[in-house]
A and B are shown apart, each in its own frame.
Chain A
Amino acid sequence: MSFLKINNVSKSYGSTRVLHNIDIDVQEGEFLVLVGPSGCGKSTLLNMIAGLEDITSGTIAIKGQAMNGVHPSKRNIAMVFQSYALYPNMTVGQNITFGLEMHGIPRPEREKAMAEVAEMLQIKPLLSRKPGQLSGGQRQRVAMGRALVRDPDVFLFDEPLSNLDAKLRVDMRTEIKKLHHKLGTTIVYVTHDQIEAMTLSTRIAVMNAGYVQQLGTPKEIYDNPANLFVASFMGSPSMNLVAAKVVANADGIFAQLATGLRDKVNLKFSKPSEALKGFDQKEIVLGIRPEAITDPEGADRKASHIEQITNRVIVTEPAGSDTYVMSSLGGKDCNARMRADAQVIAGQDVPFAINMDKAIPFDPSSEMRIA
């Protein structure tokens, strides 16, 4: 039985429906990330788990108990907010123990719990300060301390890192992951940052327009996106999505697409699905991640089928660790990730190696993956 069960949950404001029949089961100890662009309903869903928003229909259950209508404080959850939401008039110590005080826990126990949490998060020297005197990273720690001290069944994080600067964000990300490893608690985490989603989660729910687009492990989401939205949203730089035509013949099934040169190329699918055969002579959208298009020397040696084509380089973007090379494929700019020291100059015709194991066909009308 799942630990946190979101069963056929919908949310409407008046006649506007913002969440549609959400079904997510979270196992104990799982790190679920809800990711999506702003306005996709991910924060609303989190607030519904917390009890801060009503559930229009469906049920949310924690440990087998339906939580519909249960007050937030009685759900045994803790939440870390985007703005940290530290009480400005209380010291760090009072902030951390406020929840315990409200639950009528006697002072000695509160002090003990606070000391443990302060030890774990290394915020002991800050306990007597006011939130206004803390830096962003320190506030973040205190906010986590306030959540930890409650020893909740489920932790809810609402974009907790988006107010931090880039470097601190990466550090805190690692910190949160360590904490999850150490405590093994169940976490639901909302973010719009797909890298946070990939690095932190054990499972990801990609959301858009009030629907869960795909629910799966980070690898499933990344390698086998269910539709064009997931494909383009997850991954940075994002997946190349180019127009192609399916050509099936005795040698196999090919994607035929235009290059920056005069001729068209046929790329052979390494593991075509049955459904793809039905698209013979039809237009599809071919999705290829930048790292699946490389220089021939940098190609994945474990790939079962690599297509090598020659194409004209439009522009190169050396990023230090890699060099991104832009060329025209299927009438669109197509990003390829090459080794940092690959010798590529704009305007030249160079060989590209395409790992066809990672090429994913999409139906342009339904926007779903053809599988």
Chain B
Amino acid sequence: MSVASTENAISTGRITRAFIYLVLILFVTFYLLPFGIMVINSVKPLSEITGGNMMALPQVFTLDPWFNAWNSAQIGVDPTGLKPYFWNSLKMVFPAVAISTVLGALNGYVLTKWRFRGDTLLFGLMLFACFIPFQIVLIPMARVLGFLGISGSTPGLVLVHVVYGLSFTTLYFRNYYQVFPTELVRAAQIDGAGFFRIFWRIMLPSSGPIIVVSVIWQFTNIWNDFLFGASFADQDSQPMTVALNNLVSSSTGVKEYNVHFAGAILAALPTLLVYIVAGRYFVRGLMAGSVKG
């Protein structure tokens, strides 16, 4: 044992290695089990679920629950399925992510490269916003949306998410640009580039990793948000999460568990995709900002 403990991971013994894999497989199973059960039950007819074992593999394979969840399930008043709400979510998420990321980058750029009196205090206040619980801003936000005349609409939701996400994106970009060499900005100034030209031509093209972090973070949070969607959206702008809730918790008729499972997976799919596509940049980007704090 003393040999195994002093050597590094590359040359661990066969028994140690087997043990490590065993533990890893156990954990993977543990974490994947709920998702596995959702998938299994989403491709069964309802009778198999109500009549028997939820853990069993499907005897009859069917994709009907998926189609049902997508375009014909009863949500709210109309049997529209989740489809229109999926588009609502997209219409809300893309502008909100893009705007909050660009504004966060701009904030980070100003806070690190165009320092001004009181900038640290301002940054501190923005950071403070990261710790404000959603619930606290509900009523003031409702007032603001009403005042602006965009309550119950997608632009209103976009505004809410931009405002709420700005503190996080600012934090990311500020920390990333903190270690971005100021000499580059000075060189560009001497070369004759102005404030925005430096931002578009020098800063943003060098911010790949942190843009990925910001996009993933914002996309996940905004897509998964329920509270703001439930509070500030009307029937025509409700996002996917609210629709899923309405689907699952509708009090009339038979509970179609297979449809609910399919709907839940549909609602989770976009964030899952974003993670699979850009996940490895996520960790890299998080590290990049924090190397020299």
Contact = CB atoms under 8 A, between A and B. Distances in A.
Interface of A: 47, 50-52, 71-73, 77-79, 81-83, 85, 87-89, 98-99, 102-103, 146
B33 interface: no
Contacts of B206: 87-89
B127 interface: no
A99 B183 contact: no
A52 B202 contact: no
A98 B181 CA distance: 18
Given A82-B183, A85-B187, A102-B193, 20 more contacts: A50-B186, A50-B190, A71-B189, A72-B189, A73-B190, A73-B193, A79-B186, A79-B187, A81-B186, A83-B181, A85-B183, A85-B184, A85-B186, A88-B184, A98-B191, A98-B193, A99-B190, A99-B191, A99-B192, A102-B192
B191 A52 contact: no
A79 B190 contact: yes
Given A87-B202, A102-B197, A72 B190 contact: yes
B248 to A, nearest CB: 47
Contact of A81 (B187, B192, B193, B205): B187
A52 B190 CA distance: 8
A52 B191 CA distance: 12
Interface string B175-204: 000000101101111111100010001100
B215 to A, nearest CB: 18
Contacts of A71: 189
Nearest to A150: B191
B190 A77 contact: yes
A102 B181 contact: no
Contacts of A83: 181, 183
Contacts of B193: 73, 98, 102
Contacts of B202: 87, 89
B181 A52 contact: no
Contacts of B188: 87, 98
Contact of A52 (B184, B186, B192): B186
A51 B193 CA distance: 14
B41 to A, nearest CB: 49
Contacts of A146: 187, 191
25 contacts: A47-B186, A50-B186, A50-B190, A51-B190, A52-B186, A52-B190, A72-B190, A73-B190, A73-B191, A73-B192, A79-B186, A81-B183, A81-B186, A85-B181, A85-B186, A85-B187, A87-B184, A87-B187, A87-B188, A87-B202, A88-B206, A89-B202, A98-B188, A98-B193, A103-B192
Contacts of B190: 50-52, 72-73, 77-79, 99
Contact of A73 (B181, B189, B201, B205): B189
Contacts of B197: 102
A-B pairs, 4 with minimum CB distance: A73-B192, A102-B192, A99-B191, A89-B205
A139 B190 CA distance: 18
Contacts of A102: 191-193, 197
A99 B205 CA distance: 17
A203 to B, nearest CB: 24
Nearest to A81: B183
A52 B189 contact: yes
B209 to A, nearest CB: 12
Contacts of B189: 52, 71-73
